[in-house]
Amino acid sequence: MANGLVIAAKATIVNGSTGDSLILIIAFILLLILLKHFAWKPVVKMMDDRQKKISDDLDGAADSRAKAEAMAAKRQAELKNSKAEAIQIVNTAKTNGEKRRDQIVSDAQTEASQVKDKAHADADQVRTEALNSARAEVGQIAIDIAESLIKKDLDTQDQQNLIDAYIKGLTNADETK
């Protein structure tokens, strides 16, 4: 058996078929060309593309993360601002309302006092007028009473004087009219 091995090995080397080498080189070079064209280029291109895409995506993700964080911070700040603003608005409204209330109250008070004063003045006037008219009437009544009393006691002379005076008064009254 060992003998057979040696013989086989010898046979392979001695009968070395140089054509096989040629065939191998041709086949291998053809294989290289065909595989490069049909498989290697598209696959490697895709692998490179994928690698590029992944790194781009990672960069993009980092970017959007940073953006989102900035946005969140901004929102937070805005929220705080708007809270302060709201408080300010409420405060302003409160002060405004108080002012307004005070003004209304004071206005009402002044108005009321004015009305009161006016009423007082009116009342005084009415009383004065009433007194005056009452005085005049009382005077008239007194005169009438006096007249009716005097009619009996007056002599003609006096009566004449009185009549004159009266006529004079009438003329004066006419003139004034």
Partner 1 sequence: MENKYQYLTFLGLTFNVANCLSIILTALVVFFLVFFLSRKITMRPGKRQNVLEYLIDFSNGIVKSIMPGDEGKPFYFYIFVLFLFLLVSNILGLFLEIKVNGFTYTKSPTADPMVTMPLALMSLVLSHYYGAEKYGFKGYLSNFARPVGFMLPMNLIEEFTNFLTLSLRLYGNIFAGEVLIGLLVMMTQGAGLSGVFGSIAAIPLMMVWQGFSVFIGAVQAYIFATLTCVYFSRKITRE
* Interacting residue ranges for partner 1, rule: CB under 8 A: 1, 4-5, 7-9, 12-13, 15-25, 27-28, 30-32, 34-36, 38-40, 42-44, 46-47, 49-50, 53
**Of 17 and 148, which CB lies nearer to partner 1 in the complex structure?**
17
**Of 2 and 173, which CB lies nearer to partner 1 in the complex structure?**
2
Work out how close the CB of 9 gets to partner 1 at its nearest, in angstroms, rounded to a whole number: 7
**Of 25 and 145, which CB lies nearer to partner 1 in the complex structure?**
25
Work out how close the CB of 32 gets to partner 1 at its nearest, in angstroms, rounded to a whole number: 5
Work out how close the CB of 13 gets to partner 1 at its nearest, in angstroms, rounded to a whole number: 6
Work out how close the CB of 26 gets to partner 1 at its nearest, in angstroms, rounded to a whole number: 9
33-46 CB burial, b ≥16 within 10 A, e <16: eeeeeeeeeeeeee
Could you tell me which of 149, 136, 156, 137 has the C-alpha nearest to residue 164?
156
CA–CA distance, 110 with 115 (Å, rounded to integer): 8
Distance (Å) of CA 120 to CA 27, 127, 134? 133, 10, 20
**Of 58 and 93, which CB lies nearer to partner 1 in the complex structure?**
58
CA–CA distance, 13 with 7 (Å, rounded to integer): 10
Work out how close the CB of 58 gets to partner 1 at its nearest, in angstroms, rounded to a whole number: 16
Q: Are 74 and 67 in contact (CB under 8 A)?
A: no
User: Nearest 5°: phi and psi at 154?
Assistant: -70, 140
**Of 36 and 99, which CB lies nearer to partner 1 in the complex structure?**
36
Could you tell me which of 130, 131, 111, 108 has the C-alpha nearest to residue 119?
111
